[in-house]
Structure 1
Amino acid sequence: MAPKLIGSAGNPRVSRVLAAAALAGVELDFDSSFTMSSNWKTTEFLQKFPLGTLPVLEDGEFRLSESAAIAEYVASLGPNQTILPSDPKELALVHQWMSLADQEIFIKHAHANGLLIGRFPYSKPTFTAMYEGLLKTLTTVDGILAHKTFVVGERITLGDIILVTAVVKAFTGIVDAAARAKLPNLVRYVETVTKHPKLIAIFDNGNIQYTETQAVYQPPAKPKETKAPKEAKPKAEAAPKPPKAPKAPKEKEPEDDDDEPLVPEEPKAKNPLDDLPKSAFNLEEWKRQYSNLDTRKEALPWFYEKFDKEGFSIWRVDFKYNEELTLVFMSSNQIGGFFNRLEASRKYLFGSVGVLGKANDSIITGVLVCRGSDYKPVVDVAPDWESYEYKAIDLSNSADKDFFEAAMAWDLVIDGREWADGKNFK
């Protein structure tokens, strides 16, 4: 049985474990249902993992916390041991870079960003000191990389993986374009590692959204004071006061950047799908039915009774580059990344897409239920939408209906390849 990794998809501490597994050739059972906002600190969880942190690894009776330790353990299990050098001096250097990544980059960024977004009491001198300390470390690393491709040896090691995940967190956080312009070697290094063929799916398929402009601290609004009413006293009539100037609108306070980079929010353009005639098919209700009922016995009968083929369309979606797929969990991450980039179309879309087959012999396929008669206005919000082929599904056709139901029920089989893992867009 494959070791089980538990953590939030997209979290850099999880990404480093997935990257180590990918390069080492280790299959993981990745449970991404535990997110920082979900109720995962149950009594059962804490009995197994008393430190109460994510991610964690469970390999039979062996349990492990802390992402760097998990990544090293996972790397040691694989046939490809180049990411953990056998030479003790080189291995010590790998540990040096792992420690620097967490202590001098990851933690410094977390503290500086916590001040900026109001997680900690804000102090400009403290923020400046933390941020300048972070930039000093990044500048030092940039100078070292002026003469090296990787930090230890001539191939990617675990030191590179841990370092890159920390730097990516900084580059998508408070280290903006102006600061990155002074770190050309570090930017080149990050691009080299994250676009490695075995790692690119883990790092948003090469579409990492770096921060353009650092967010500005916004102090919280002061609560209004309430005073007890005073007894009315007769007053002499006073001259009318001039009207007060209108107050400037308050800017939105930056959100916690645990999962999302701090970037200015762009004004939302009106979506033409909103102008379509109102449909009797309630997509949000369908998502609830699908989530709570047995798919074949209850959810699909509800779907067939309510579905409005005039207001919605159903599409088969197939990944175009299946020959590039390797490990099953990486292919599943590929689907997850695609779905993440479809967020702007959440109220127009439902999806059930899966990985069929096994490592180095798999395909990605599934179904999308889209608002309107055309898939393109729904999916073209994702930069990689053209990596998939789309074919209309006609439920009156028995073959199409069988495919649709099997994809919904996650028991689809194609050319002997069985459903191995999947994602829903709900």
Structure 2
Amino acid sequence: MSSIGTLYTTPVQDRGKRVRAVAAYAGVSVDLPESYVHFEDNKKPEFLSKFPLGKIPSLETKDGFKLFEASAISRYIAGLAPNSGLLGSDAKEAALNDQWVSFADSEINAHTVFIFQLVKGVITPYNKPIHTTLAERQLRSLKVLEQHLATRTFLVNHRISLADITVASVIQRALTVTIDTPLRAQFPNIIRHFETVVNQPKLKDIFGPTEYIEKALAYVPPPKEKKETKPAAPPAPKAEKPKPKVEEEDEEEDDLVPKEEPKPKNPLDSLPKSSFNLEDWKRAYSNLDTRGAGGALEWFYKNFDKEGFSVWRTDFKYNEELTQVFMSSNQIGGFFNRLEASRKYLFGSVGVCGDANNSIITGVFILRGLEVKPVVDVAPDWESYAYKKLDLENEEDKKYFEAALAWDLEVDGKKWADGKAFK
């Protein structure tokens, strides 16, 4: 069979390997570029004119059809060979294929990739709680997959489908990062399914050998630098009394050295004293139930000073860019980190409402003063959020405020999924 076009990828790229495996199993031929160098060729104008994001794998067919994203390319190629059975035999089996492909990418592979980047310090400093959360969520997904495979050889029907190849490709990556010897013992059906798929005669050369790690990838803190011991300084020579001319020159040089300016006082510190103690509120919120008699909200309303503090709703402006809930939650954490300079003036409760690929970031701030900008503009990305002052005497605003603090907020049918408090 003649080639349908060019697949831009590298021999070792996981997602590109998946596409190549689907093509091989379907009997569809694709060409690989003769000399593709990633991070170089995909940044050239001629590549970006075809694939503006510069992502691989990307497919360009001989009739000029262009496609990126591994899942879309794989499905397209599988559809070119209906007799392969890769998409199932009816609409229901096709939908099940889509389900397991999405599951593999969002519930298994996303956590593998983020754990790898976190441990290696690729995009963010290492954070143990985040690592633990990611591992727990991936473990939950693996348990679902294990249970499904306990009574089945393959995922959709009685033969290999697009779903099986996709899941095998993400499991192969996870076996090098998170699925170590103890975990493999918990998931015999996953390992059996994986080895069945990758050892198919048509697929074996593409998947290649698999590295089975004994222990999951773990963070290794950098070694502490040893302080060099400085040799004892020789005794200083006896200073001679300077001549008057030299004294004048020294004084002139001193005038040229810029004197350290005192740090400017934050204008928020100049506001009139308030009866509302923000630190006391933070402790009340941390130690008391939010709602109910004697709870944090009751404490708040009893002590709040609306002349010295204000309450604001905050909403992320670009919710259409949000994907996984845990990634959006990490984004909130990053925003909070950049607000650190305003910690003594600010309390926040912000969360993610909704599900993967259909969520929003929203919440509330309690802050010193009656204007939001002087408090939040310490964060470089503060303008990525919209701010609305809330009137707690307005029933709707009050309801929103209380739900955001209690983490039971629901907005347009999107329920609170995860949240963080800035204290």
TM-score (norm 2): 0.51
Aligned to 1:284: none
**What do the CA deviations read for 1:142-177 (whole angstroms, capped 9, x no partner)?**
111110111101111101111111111101222211
Contact 1:2 1:28 in 2 (8 A): yes
Name the aligned partner's letter for residue 93 of structure 2: E
Equivalences, count: 233
Moved more, 31-40 or 53-62: 31-40
Aligned to 1:219: 221
**What do the CA deviations read for 1:10-68 (whole angstroms, capped 9, x no partner)?**
22101111111111111111226434454431111101100210111000311110011
The answer to whether structure 1 residue 4 and structure 2 residue 15 are counterparts is no
Name the aligned partner's letter for residue 15 of structure 1: K
Counterpart CA distance in 1 for 2:34 and 2:148 is 36
Question: What SS is found at the alignment partner of 2:179?
Answer: coil
List, as ranges, runs of 4+ consecutive aligned residues in structure 1 with deviation greater than 3 Å. 35-40, 220-226, 229-235
Give the deviation of 1:86 after TM superposition. 3.8
Residues 1:212 and 1:31: Cα distance change in structure 2 (over 3 Å): farther
Give the deviation of 1:234 after TM superposition. 5.2
Counterpart CA distance in 2 for 1:55 and 1:114 is 20
Name the aligned partner's letter for residue 77 of structure 2: V
Aligned pair partner of 1:167 in 147, 167, 171:
171
Aligned pair partner of 2:197 in 183, 193, 197:
193
The answer to whether structure 1 residue 117 and structure 2 residue 120 are counterparts is yes
Counterpart CA distance in 2 for 1:108 and 1:32 is 33
Residues 1:88 and 1:15: Cα distance change in structure 2 (over 3 Å): same
Contact 1:55 1:66 in 2 (8 A): yes
Counterpart CA distance in 1 for 2:4 and 2:141 is 37
Larger Rg: 2
**What do the CA deviations read for 1:95-138 (whole angstroms, capped 9, x no partner)?**
00000000011111111111111112101111011012111211
Counterpart CA distance in 1 for 2:202 and 2:155 is 19
Structure 2: which 5+ residue stretches go unaligned? 238-423
Contact 1:25 1:80 in 2 (8 A): no
Aligned to 2:66: 63
What's the Cα RMSD here? 2.7
Aligned to 1:30: 32
Question: What SS is found at the alignment partner of 2:186?
Answer: coil
The answer to whether structure 1 residue 128 and structure 2 residue 128 are counterparts is no
Aligned to 1:323: none
Give the deviation of 1:214 after TM superposition. 2.2
Contact 1:7 1:35 in 2 (8 A): no
Aligned to 2:183: 179
Structure 1: which 5+ residue stretches go unaligned? 236-426
Aligned to 2:47: 45
Counterpart CA distance in 2 for 1:109 and 1:51 is 23
Contact 1:8 1:33 in 2 (8 A): no
Aligned to 1:84: 87
Give the deviation of 1:215 after TM superposition. 3.2
Contact 2:115 2:131 in 1 (8 A): yes
Name the aligned partner's letter for residue 94 of structure 1: N
Question: What SS is found at the alignment partner of 2:46?
Answer: helix
Contact 2:88 2:156 in 1 (8 A): no
Paired residues for 1:168-317 under 5 Å: 168-204=172-208, 207-221=209-223
Counterpart CA distance in 2 for 1:58 and 1:230 is 69
Question: Identity of paired residues, percent?
Answer: 40
